[in-house]
Amino acid sequence: MAKKLVRFDWAMKKMLRHKANFDILEGFLSELLGEEIKIKQILDSESNKETEDDKYNRVDILVEFSSGELVIIEIQDSKEYDYFHRILFGTSKVITEHIKEGEPFAAVKKVISITIAYFDLGQGKDYVYHGTTSFKGIHEKDILTLSDRQVELYKKSAVHEIYPEYWLIKVGKFSNTVNDKLDEWIYFFKNAEIKSDFSAKGLKEVSKRLTTMKLNEEDQKEYNKYLKHLHEVASGNYNEMVDAQDLINQGIEKGAEKKEVEAVLGFYRIGVEREKIAEALGITIEKVNQIIENQASK
């Protein structure tokens, strides 16, 4: 039987900010970015402070690698149409917060934005998307590269390494079919479970430390409250979707009714008998009479 594990978003809010658990985040980041990651520290900034409104719908954390790169990891449960704009704002804010007055632009920090989305963000068939900035020639179709001197100065091999990059993981699109070690992590995000044969970096530590049985009484109560709130958020989103569909259906019905009225009156004006109108439109003679009489009374 699979262990009952704490959801990753709650763990990131409460447990993964502690240095003793850095290896869990390092494991996930290493599998995602395809390189060995070491975390120097967890940073606090204006960009990741919580408010009461988003306290339970969004979790984010700002991480500094030993290499100096900054990484925003954000978990979002509620649908936001302007989410793409928000992650752009978030990376821009982190950049401006981490350059000192008077420093040259070369001191701008590399920022990586990682979103774990539990809603359907945008339109696409995949469940992991990666975005970078590159400059492509409109005539020669070549990609603009750094000069040898720039490579030497900035310790970068390509222009896109200077700019923010974005990773979007759409958990709901994941089919639970595991093909690689990153998929093992996404399986955990979606199911709060780890299969016995999983071997991705960090998951062994997750299995040991992020079990609900290890939570103290206070944390258990808070975690249960958190899960209850997520159910309420999901229910609210579902109800909004149902209400929206009802409005659409009402609009369709009103449109169909209007066309029906126009058809009856059109036939009537050119002298078609009422019985023939009812037969042609597949409605009752009573309905035909009602439409014609309502029009006559106006």
Please provide the average confidence, as pLDDT, over all residues in the chain: 85
pLDDT in tens, 103-125: 999 999 999 999 999 888 888 99
Short-list 134, 44, 129, CA closest to 84? 129
State pTM to two decimals.
0.73
Which pLDDT value is given to residue 236? 63
Cβ partners under 8 Å of residue 144, min gap 6: 134, 135, 136, 137, 159
How far is it, in rounded angstroms, from Cα 192 to Cα 185?
A: 10
pLDDT in tens, 53-63: 444 456 788 99
Short-list 51, 60, 57, 59, CA closest to 80? 57
The answer on pLDDT for 36 being more than 50 is: yes
Long-range contacts of 247-251 (CB under 8 A, 24+ apart): none
Which pLDDT value is given to residue 226? 80
How far is it, in rounded angstroms, from Cα 83 to Cα 124?
A: 15
Average pLDDT over residues 255-263: 82
Which pLDDT value is given to residue 47? 42
Number of alpha carbons in the 13 Å side-chain half-sphere of residue 165:
15
Beta-ladder partners of 70:
64, 111
Four-point Cα dihedral 28, 11, 73, 63, nearest 10: -80
- The letter for the amino acid at 133 is T
How far is it, in rounded angstroms, from Cα 120 to Cα 107?
A: 36
| Per-residue three-class SS string for 257-268 | HHHHHHHHHHHH
Which pLDDT value is given to residue 213? 60
Instruction: Judge contact between 103 and 79, C-beta under 8 A.
Output: no
What DSSP character marks residue 99?
S
User: Within 34-175, where are the H helices?
Assistant: 83-97, 148-154
Cβ partners under 8 Å of residue 238, min gap 6: none
pLDDT in tens, 138-156: 999 999 999 999 999 999 9
How far is it, in rounded angstroms, from Cα 12 to Cα 61?
A: 8
Sign of the C-alpha dihedral computed for residues 87, 88, 91 and 92 taken in this order: negative
What DSSP character marks residue 142?
P
How far is it, in rounded angstroms, from Cα 10 to Cα 219?
A: 10
Which pLDDT value is given to residue 22? 93
Instruction: Judge contact between 39 and 65, C-beta under 8 A.
Output: yes
Which pLDDT value is given to residue 249? 65
Chain-centre distance for alpha carbon 73:
12
Which pLDDT value is given to residue 54? 46
